[in-house]
Structure 1
Amino acid sequence: MATASQTPVLDTLAAMTDDSVERCGLAPDTFMLTRIAALAASDAPPVSYIANLDPALQAGLTAEKVQDVLVAIAPVVGTARVMTAAANIAKALGITIAVADAEAQAQSMG
């Protein structure tokens, strides 16, 4: 079955996220902190953090809360995973900022 979307994979992931939010009884900030912990534990790449950045911001997450989660899970998942997660989060933020800058520049030229 073909889809008219230009981003079918991202659309599917967004729909899965929306469905899990609707079915979960956690508060939005706790939900997103749990997702960040799971991403760190599974050694997720930067793109996985990018996919969760907007929902995390909408839930009111701060850098301090994310750091607290990484500190909390460090004894369980290990320092290597936590350090990789911190680096991947930083990369994700850098990529997101670069994309936003490029979009703003394109709009100002167009």
Structure 2
Amino acid sequence: MATASETPVLDTITAMTIDSLERCHMEDRTLLLSRIAALVAMDAPAISYMAHIPPAIKAEFTVEQLQDLLVAIAPVVGTARVMSAAGHIAEAFGVALALAESEAEAIAQAEADSRTGT
């Protein structure tokens, strides 16, 4: 029996993702492109793109490659979905940047506090 958790939905999604990655033999870039294309096709919300930011950074995925992906799939998924995705992706990156800045500020504050003994 599964253990109780405060985040059962997130835990399930995480487990599904890990299982999918273990069973998939695509190279990282191809997998990332496939997943982002699927998110665009589904008109996924910004939060769905958030999970793909760290792998995109790790795979050195560029803005130009993302634009190329959106151009490539636009005739299939439609302009409305592509424009919606562009907004959701921008929102996801904005949230990720804000989180990174907040984390950096917290680290800097902790270091400053440790130097001053507070």
Q: TM-score range by the shorter chain?
A: 0.7 to 0.9
Query: 1 CA distance for matches of 2:91 and 2:62?
Result: 17
User: What CA deviation, in whole Å up to 9, does each residue of 1:46-95 have, x standing for no partner?
Assistant: 11001111122223322111111111110011001001101111110010
Query: 2 CA distance for matches of 1:23 and 1:64?
Result: 29
Q: Which residue of 1 aligns with 2:78?
A: 78
Q: Which residue of 2 aligns with 1:2?
A: 4
Q: Which residue of 2 aligns with 1:58?
A: 58
Matched, 1:37 2:40: no
Q: Which residue of 1 aligns with 2:19?
A: 19
Q: CA RMSD, aligned part only?
A: 1.6
Residue identity matched to 1:86 = A
Identity of aligned residues (%): 56
Does the C-alpha gap of structure 1 residues 44 and 71 become closer, same or farther in structure 2, counting only changes over 3 Å?
same
5+ long unaligned stretches in structure 1: none
Measured after TM superposition, the shift of residue 100 of structure 1 is 0.9
Query: 2 CA distance for matches of 1:66 and 1:9?
Result: 28
Q: Which residue of 2 aligns with 1:48?
A: 48
SS in structure 1 opposite 2:29?
A: helix
Does the C-alpha gap of structure 1 residues 24 and 14 become closer, same or farther in structure 2, counting only changes over 3 Å?
same
Measured after TM superposition, the shift of residue 19 of structure 1 is 1.4
* Larger gyration radius, structure 1 or structure 2: 2
* Stretch deviating more after TM superposition (55-64 or 29-38): 55-64
